[in-house]
Amino acid sequence: MKRISAFQLYCILLVMTMPVNLLIVPKVLTSYLGNNAWLAIIASLVPGTLIIYIYYSIIKKSLQPFPLLLEEHLGIIPGITLSFIYVFFFILASSLTLRIFVEFIESNVLPGTPISVFIGVMLITAFLGIKSGLTNIARMAELITYVGVPFTFLMIALTLTHNPDFGNLKPFAYMSSKGFASALIFATMPLLNMFPMLTLFHHFQQNSFKPMFQVLLSYILLMSLITISTVVALGGQNSSLFTFPAFVAIRLVSIGDFIQNIDIIFIGVWIMGIFGVLSIWWFMACYTIQQVFNLHDYRFLAAPTALIIGATSIMLSPNILELNLLANRILAPVYYFFLLFIPLIIFLITLFKTPVKQQPEYPESEKSISTAE
């Protein structure tokens, strides 16, 4: 039997919260708060801790992992129905991740290349990750963390030391309460991506609160530094005008006035992170289908769902401007509904239940998976 170590779990959750949001969050927050965008990230410590507590409480009072815990707490028919609906949400999350990757590469790296090429390459790569099993996905997340985190700190340091203008951080805390509330909602949303913990805890027979809280602190540290470095390099107003301001700030960096275009290294590392996010959301979709229909394995589902994810990513929007509007105004409430509102209902249902001891062995449907891996 193969388990996920504490560090592997930390890496999986960190990969889920950082790569995509590293490019998106600074733009949205600066559009709300300008030079004070980083304050919303620090303030997300409070709602982020509450989210972690909700997930942790559900885990402590559930015998089965997600999606079986929906049947456990809501009943068989409502649980199966909701699990089936979650499949479409996970496919949507996978498609959105894939489309953001495509738009970034199309607009910054290889403009004019058909998006079907990027979609096909990323789907094939993530498909191989799904087929290799959850254990190898966890190892992949370890590799991404080992490479990505030090490189992120390096890029932040280079950005802050390359012609910085710390005056861009002024005036301090000059913002409206409405703007701060909107920014806080969006700054907290990446932490909802720790939702797969409700499934992964069954592969991790230790205290699950610690790795989730470590991810929260890592997210606040990294994202606040990234936002500060972006504002210092570009200014609060200018940052809100770019689609990917953090990448623009990194692109301006040069070492010794003769080593330039180091952003290509950033692109390589970021693509690794996108591969991790896509693989984990895709795994959640396949695993949920397996549990809903009581199938023997989930990996053979990767091939048919690949076509659905690819087609959905293309149909999400015709261009990057509409994709931004769709993500901010429509998909953000959808994320909160599936990743917070429904877990909150389950949390309230389990509030007066006593903690249970999780099963020390996998269910029959999982034993075959563990053996194959």
Residue 106 near residue 118, CB atoms below 8 Å: yes
Span 5-35, pLDDT tens digits: 889 999 999 999 998 888 888 888 998 998 8
Spatial neighbors of 77 by CB under 8 A, at least 6 apart, are none
> Phi-psi bin for 153: left (phi > 0), alpha (psi -120 to 50), beta?
alpha
Mean pLDDT of 108-124: 83
Confidence band, pLDDT 50/70/90 cuts, at residue 371: very low
Mean pLDDT of 139-147: 91
Between 320 and 72, the more confident residue is 72
Residue 36 near residue 174, CB atoms below 8 Å: yes
366 has pLDDT over 60: no
312 has pLDDT over 50: yes
pLDDT computed for residue 358 by the predictor: 63
Give the length of the chain: 373
pLDDT computed for residue 54 by the predictor: 95
How many other β-carbons are positioned within 10 Å of the β-carbon of residue 165?
11
Span 149-167, pLDDT tens digits: 998 888 888 888 877 788 8
How far apart are alpha carbons 25 and 41 in whole angstroms?
A: 9
Share of the chain above pLDDT 70, in %: 92
Most confident of 70-84, 95-109, 264-278: 70-84
**Exposure of 242 in the CB half-sphere (CA atoms within 13 A):** 25
217 has pLDDT over 90: yes
181 has pLDDT over 90: yes
Spatial neighbors of 162 by CB under 8 A, at least 6 apart, are 233, 252, 253, 254
CATH for 11-372 (3.40.50.720, 3.40.50.880, 1.10.1370.30, 1.20.1740.10) = 1.20.1740.10
How far apart are alpha carbons 203 and 362 in whole angstroms?
A: 8
Q: What average pLDDT does the chain have?
A: 86
363 has pLDDT over 60: no
Mean pLDDT of 157-184: 85
pLDDT computed for residue 355 by the predictor: 78
SS3 sequence, the chain?
CCCCCHHHHHHHHHHHHCHHHHHHHHHHHHHHHHHHHHHHHHHCHHHHHHHHHHHHHHHHCCCCCCCHHHHHHHCHHHHHHHHHHHHHHHHHHHHHHHHHHHHHHHHHCCCCCCHHHHHHHHHHHHHHHHHHCHHHHHHHHHHHHHHHHHHHHHHHHHHHHCCCCHHHHCCCCCCCHHHHHHHHHHHHHHHHHHCCHHHHHHHCCCCCHHHHHHHHHHHHHHHHHHHHHHHHHHCHHHHCCCCCHHHHHHHCCCECCCECCCHHHHHHHHHHHHHHHHHHHHHHHHHHHHHHCCCCCCHHHHHHHHHHHHHHHHHCCCCHHHHHHHHHHHHHHHHHHHHHHHHHHHHHHHCCCCCCCCCCCCCHHHHHHHHHC
CA distances from 90 to 54, 194, 260, 289, 309 (A): 20, 13, 39, 11, 10
Span 231-277, pLDDT tens digits: 998 888 888 888 888 888 888 776 666 666 677 777 888 888 888 99
Q: Which of 172, 198, 224 is nearest to 44 (CA)?
A: 224
Instruction: Provide the whole-model pTM.
Output: 0.89
